[in-house]
Structure 1
Amino acid sequence: MIVNFADKIVVGLAGVPITRDMRLTPEQFGLLGSSFFFLFSISAIVVGFVVNRIDTRWVVLVLALIWAVAQFPMVGEVSFATLLICRIILGAGEGPAFSVAAHAIYKWFPDHKRTLPTAILSQGSAFGVILAVPALNWIIVDHSWHYAFGALGLVGLMWAAAWLALGKEGPLVPTAAMAAAETRIPYARLLTSRTFVGCVAATFGAYWALSLGLTWFTTYIVTGLGFSQHDAGLISVTPWVFGAAMVLFTGWLSQTLMARGVSTRRARGVLGAAPLVVGGVILLSMPLLHSPAALIAALVVGAGLCGSIYVVCPPMIAEFTPVAQRGAAIAIYGALYTLAGVVAPLVMGSVVQTAANVNDGYLTGYMINGAVLIASGLLGLLLLWPNTERARLLNAAEPTALGLRKPA
């Protein structure tokens, strides 16, 4: 996940020199940010069904090789179309990454011990940015944004070699007899269950904020607030540091609450969704702030609070999903919420381009993000009931399994 998010952040980090060298409009740069997600969801769903049958070790290896190879065309002079295509290919390779990694981790930890490992896995996103931004920004400032892509390609190849040597499959894999005995839930019922829909809705808002952070945050710091590229690179780390602390705290608190007997409705559902509402209110307050420091702080805290939902939703889905269907269910969840990555950068680009001035455009874009966060958080609070979901789904499935109709 560290490599994965370093790959994601590079376009946003190099946004100003890329826009300048390629003479892009804000709408074109928004399209470039969104292009990463064009095949993201489709590949996540396809690979999600694949990992139900093939070891995650080999699936992750193939994905990592795609990430690495997709970076190298940008080392030399490149057209906008080529850059766009490479980002689409990269997105197709990275779309299934988190869901496949979570599925792999759940082969090592039982349900009551999964929240903290999920939090640590999620830290890859933060540390991918925290570790990569200083190095990539140095390459961008002192050399060229082209070489930043090449450096990521080399790192991807090195990681793939290490994974080939060290990656293993966990022991918590059901035998054929166990899989046959486990009651399967029709996907139509599983994917329309209250908690699954709540997870998608809540994480959609969080990913809206994350995709703006990946694509537009550094550009806003430079063109909106007037910082230099060097200083903006340093500032760009701050949301991820705060987000990392939030994710680890949520993982620790959730697992501690569950150990004390608190229901997963509260220890996972409420704990994950409530911070989205708070974060949305903070983003909506940005027009009331006037100093650059206050605006940056609002973005850091408002967007950083969203990290809680990534920690709790995959374990919630795993609570009520049969093991044989878990890889696909988590992948489809990821495919749906990451559609925010297609929409959010385009919306911001369109708003900035049509606004009376650049700052008004950015503030409007972040206020839209705030409204999305509040709506997503409220839906999460309403719909996330993982502690009762499995029983409800299995009770609904029994009459069908027996060839009977449920009474009216």
Structure 2
Amino acid sequence: MTTQPTPKDTPRGAWTITFLLFLYMVVNFADKIVVGLAGVPIKTELGLTQEQFGTLGSSFFLLFSISGIIVGFIVNSVQTRWVLLILAVIWALAQFPMIGSVSFATLLICRIILGAGEGPAFSVAAHAVYKWFPDEKRTLPTAILSQGSAFGVILAVPALNWVIVNHSWHHAFGALGIVGLLWAVAWFALGKEGPLVPSAATAASEPKISYWKLLTSRTFVGCVVSTFGAYWALSLGLTWFTSFIIEGLGFSQQQAGFISILPWVFGATIVILTGWISQLMLARGFTTRGARGVLGAAPLVVGGCVLATLPYVAPGGLMIALLVIGSGLCGSIYVVCPPMLGEFTPVSQRGAVIAIYGALYTISGILAPMVMGGVIQHAGSPMAGYMIGFSINAAILVGSGVLGLLLLWPNTERARLTGTSQPDRAIKGAVSPT
């Protein structure tokens, strides 16, 4: 007779699924980085202005948020394994038109389609992995999932940059399409739905909370605002970092490819440390206010202060180091927000809430590349424009981090939403929502 996993057990196969979803996020971010990595060759071949290139970077996020919300509600009732498979196939197919001669309009349309397919990616993957881990064990798998972004860039940049330098940027897109199809085949063969889902009786008895209350709760708002600032920095990194290294600092395309890895290596370290420290704090009795809220928001303030010093140092290695550190510290917030939302959101509503959270904070992905492009276009020099753009980023990071520190109180959120009296507590004393 098979013993059913208790809420605090991790089912067999959980880490295999986590690894597959980690690879899913690797492909996801490799797809995102390719336009920024090939920015200078694309601008040269297509004759794009800085503003047009900023628009191209933003186009990826045009349907990103909308599709995230729609798919978020779909996964409340449809198995995540099939949704993840369909999304991966869309990513792959959106890359192939760029293999041949392509116009700016075609490139723009393909990036919009790719963005629509990738918009729900992290939210659906997080929802899927939470079906394999109880609440008190979710921070580390969330950190690993988030690492897909860093490793997607770390692994893809050298390979894609080699293709760009030795062949063309067109072939780089084709390579990503093939990799996307390979992941889809692997997931079709090995992907499974997690067992930690409520039974029909449990789901029927689980109290629902109105979406209005969930989406206006201070912790939800705090997660959106704080991650909005972090994603502003990430969007600039995806679209403009390599161009800055080449146009602002004078490095070659080949040199810029290696330098472009640095923010992601540092960011990967921050994400893993955040996940490990958070679970260690929870195990030692800290409330999730401290082990998730403060731990995630405080680095945004520090990162913004670091970026604010950029205009006051000489161009070169120190400027790159400050940009790497300031941007990389933002990774902490991605690790802690989905688990915080899972603390107080009923399981039957969790997929939609996490997806709406993702859809809202990624609006900064539309704004940040366009703002930077416009600033560079109208500044006295490219370097001056980049410095103004990074200063704007610094102010947004500090503001979002401060608001996060004020608003993130997940440990008492469910009691406030349900109107019950509940003491402030650590997660290890809570009942897992799964």
The TM-score normalised by the length of structure 1 is 0.97
Q: Of residues 103, 117, 121 in structure 2, which corresponds to 1:93? A: 117
The aligned residue for residue 198 of structure 1 is: 222
Aligned residues: CA RMSD: 0.8
8 Å CA contact retained: 2:304, 2:397 = yes
8 Å CA contact retained: 2:249, 2:315 = no
Alignment of 1:243-254 (within 5 A): 243-254=267-278
Q: Of residues 94, 105, 110 in structure 1, which corresponds to 2:134? A: 110
1:277 aligns with 2:304: no
Q: Could you tell me how far apart the structure 1 residues matched to 2:122 and 2:254 are? A: 30
Q: Of residues 158, 182, 187 in structure 1, which corresponds to 2:211? A: 187
Percent identity among equivalent residues? 73
1:178 aligns with 2:212: no
Spell out, residue by residue over 1:163-210, the C-alpha distance to the aligned partner (whole angstroms, 9 max, x if none): 000000111011111111001000011000000000000000000000
1:351 aligns with 2:375: yes
The aligned residue for residue 294 of structure 1 is: 318
Alignment of 1:7-86 (within 5 A): 7-86=31-110
Matched to 2:268, the amino acid is: A
SS in 2 for 1:216: helix
Q: Structure 1: which 4+ aligned runs deviate by more than 2 Å?
A: none
Matched to 1:268, the amino acid is: R
The aligned residue for residue 257 of structure 1 is: 281
- How far is the alpha carbon of 1:290 from its aligned partner? 0.3
Q: Could you tell me how far apart the structure 2 residues matched to 1:139 and 1:278 are? A: 37
Spell out, residue by residue over 1:126-154, the C-alpha distance to the aligned partner (whole angstroms, 9 max, x if none): 00000000000000000000000000000
Matched to 2:310, the amino acid is: M
Q: Which runs of 5+ in 2 are unaligned?
A: 1-24, 422-434
1:335 aligns with 2:350: no
The aligned residue for residue 139 of structure 1 is: 163
1:393 aligns with 2:417: yes
SS in 2 for 1:356: coil
Q: Could you tell me how far apart the structure 2 residues matched to 1:235 and 1:40 are? A: 28
The aligned residue for residue 236 of structure 2 is: 212
8 Å CA contact retained: 2:95, 2:174 = yes
Matched to 2:41, the amino acid is: P
Q: Of residues 129, 144, 157 in structure 1, which corresponds to 2:153? A: 129
Q: Could you tell me how far apart the structure 2 residues matched to 1:305 and 1:69 are? A: 34
Q: Could you tell me how far apart the structure 2 residues matched to 1:292 and 1:24 are? A: 27
- How far is the alpha carbon of 1:63 from its aligned partner? 0.2
- How far is the alpha carbon of 1:291 from its aligned partner? 3.5
Q: Of residues 246, 249, 263 in structure 2, which corresponds to 1:239? A: 263
The aligned residue for residue 397 of structure 2 is: 373
Q: Which runs of 5+ in 1 are unaligned?
A: 398-408
Matched to 2:112, the amino acid is: I
Q: Of residues 303, 322, 327 in structure 1, which corresponds to 2:346? A: 322
Matched to 1:41, the amino acid is: S
Number of positions where the alignment pairs a residue of Structure 1 with one of Structure 2: 397
Q: Could you tell me how far apart the structure 2 residues matched to 1:368 and 1:291 are? A: 18
Spell out, residue by residue over 1:244-264, the C-alpha distance to the aligned partner (whole angstroms, 9 max, x if none): 000000000000000000000
The TM-score normalised by the length of structure 2 is 0.91
1:384 aligns with 2:408: yes
Q: Could you tell me how far apart the structure 2 residues matched to 1:379 and 1:180 are? A: 36
The aligned residue for residue 362 of structure 1 is: 386
The aligned residue for residue 22 of structure 2 is: none
SS in 1 for 2:325: helix
Matched to 2:62, the amino acid is: F
The aligned residue for residue 406 of structure 1 is: none
Q: Could you tell me how far apart the structure 2 residues matched to 1:396 and 1:161 are? A: 47
Q: Could you tell me how far apart the structure 1 residues matched to 2:142 and 2:233 are? A: 20
Q: Could you tell me how far apart the structure 2 residues matched to 1:358 and 1:326 are? A: 44
- How far is the alpha carbon of 1:396 from its aligned partner? 7.3
Q: Could you tell me how far apart the structure 1 residues matched to 2:230 and 2:247 are? A: 24
Q: Could you tell me how far apart the structure 1 residues matched to 2:316 and 2:345 are? A: 46
